[in-house]
Amino acid sequence: MPITLENVGIAVRDLEATIAFFTDLGLTVLGRDEVSGEWADTAVGLDGNHAKIAVLQTPDGHGQLELFEYIHPDAIETEPTLPNEIGMHRVAFSVDDIDESLAIAARHGCHPLRGVANYQGVYKLTYLRGPSGILVMLAQDLTKNPEDQPTGDS
């Protein structure tokens, strides 16, 4: 049986702020809606389910995020997920220029958890906290841009 990943759904505190963050990183809004009714209650498993949603797509057309801001029932605040906790872990993106992506994230008040790592001269990568505490991994493939390869001094 073939299976295809449709999207990753994330409940957020502020839909507009989250859309701004991800669109600044390069995703585009495919659509927005407000969902409620018996079908939504059944699909999600919440009575009185009512949410504003937006679907965003990566520039390559393969990845999608579905963002939900709950109107009812009230959203439940939780502590941000830690990298070693069981459950939804992170959303990861390949970027052409990690420094530029981090500058965009910083404009939204989002910064690396500990800095940018260099994995064997192949990837520069970092985890940061996005809107609503979402863990976001950014990774730049250094083999695609040989001028970004570390020198023997690094």
Domains of the chain, each with CATH number or no CATH: 1-77 (3.10.180.10), 79-154 (3.10.180.10)
Is the model's pLDDT at 146 over the cut of 80? no
For residue 89, the model assigns a pLDDT of: 79
User: Six-digit token pair at 55?
Assistant: 């679907």
Average pLDDT over residues 35-43: 93
Helix (H) or strand (E) run with residue 102 in it: helix 98-107
Whether the bond into 73 is cis, omega within 30 of 0:
yes
DSSP summary character for residue 112 = B
**Please, is 69 exposed, middle or buried when counting C-beta atoms within 10 Å of its C-beta (0-12, 13-18, 19+)?**
buried
For residue 88, the model assigns a pLDDT of: 77
pLDDT tier at 145 (50, 70, 90 boundaries)? Answer: low
Is the model's pLDDT at 10 over the cut of 90? yes
> Whose CA is closest to 18, among 133, 150, 148, 146?
133
For residue 121, the model assigns a pLDDT of: 93
